[in-house]
Amino acid sequence: MKLIDSYLLYTGNSDIVQTVEGLQATGQTGQIILFGAEAPAALPAGCGFLSAADPFGSQSLKAIAAQAEAPYTLLYTKDTILSLGMFALERMMRILEDSGAAMAYADHYQLKDGQQTIAPVIDYQQGSLRDDFDFGSVLLLRTAALKEAAARMKTDYRFAGLYDLRLKLSQRGELVHINEYLYTEVENDTRRSGEKIFDYVDPKNRNRQLEMEAACTEHLKEVGGYLKPEFEHIEFDRGDFEYEASVIIPVRNRIRTIRDAIRSVLSQQADFKFNLIVIDNHSTDGTTEAIDEFNSDPRLIHLIPERNDLGIGGCWNLGVHHPCCGKFAVQLDSDDVYKDEHTLATMVRAFYEQNCAMVVGTYMMTNFDMQMIPPGIIDHREWTPENGRNNALRINGLGAPRAFYTPVLREVKVPNTSYGEDYALGLAFSRRFQIGRVYDVVYLCRRWDDNSDASLDVVKMNAHNLYKDRIRTWELQARIALNR
Eight-class DSSP state of 85: P
Closest CA to 104 of 177, 163, 180: 177
Residue 193: the pLDDT is: 46
Residue 455: the pLDDT is 63
pLDDT at 452 over 70: no
What are the CA-CA distances from residue 215 to residues 160, 166, 211, 396 (Å)? 7, 10, 6, 16
The long-range contacts involving 48-53, CB below 8 angstroms and separated by at least 24 positions, are: 49/10, 50/7
Give the global pTM.
0.92
Residue (of 438, 390, 431) closest to 408 by Cα position:
431
Greatest Cα-to-Cα distance within the chain, rounded to the nearest angstrom:
82
Residue 191 has what pLDDT? 47
Percent of the chain with pLDDT over 90: 89
DSSP 128-155: ---TT----SEEEEEHHHHHHHHHT--S
Q: Does pLDDT of 394 surpass 70?
A: yes
Which range, of 88-92, 303-307, 429-433, 455-459, averages the lowest pLDDT? 455-459
- Structural domains of the chain sorted by starting position, each given as residue range(s) with its CATH number in brackets: 4-190 (3.90.550.10), 245-483 (3.90.550.10)
Write the pLDDT tens digit of every residue in 246-263: 999 999 999 999 999 999
Q: What single-letter DSSP state applies at residue 201?
A: G
Buried b (16+ CB within 10 A) or exposed e, 335-363: bbbbbeeebbbbbbbbbeeebbbbbbbbb
Residue 115, strand partner residues: 112
Calculate mean pLDDT across residues 167-193.
Answer: 87
Cα–Cα distances (Å) from 414 to 197, 302, 431, 440, 453, in that order, read: 23, 20, 15, 27, 20
Render pLDDT for 252-299 as a digit per residue (tens, 0 to 9): 999 999 999 999 999 999 999 999 999 999 999 999 999 999 999 999
Is the per-residue pLDDT at 200 higher than 70?
A: no
CB 57 within 8 A of CB 161: yes
Q: What are phi and psi of 49, to 5 degrees?
A: -135, 140
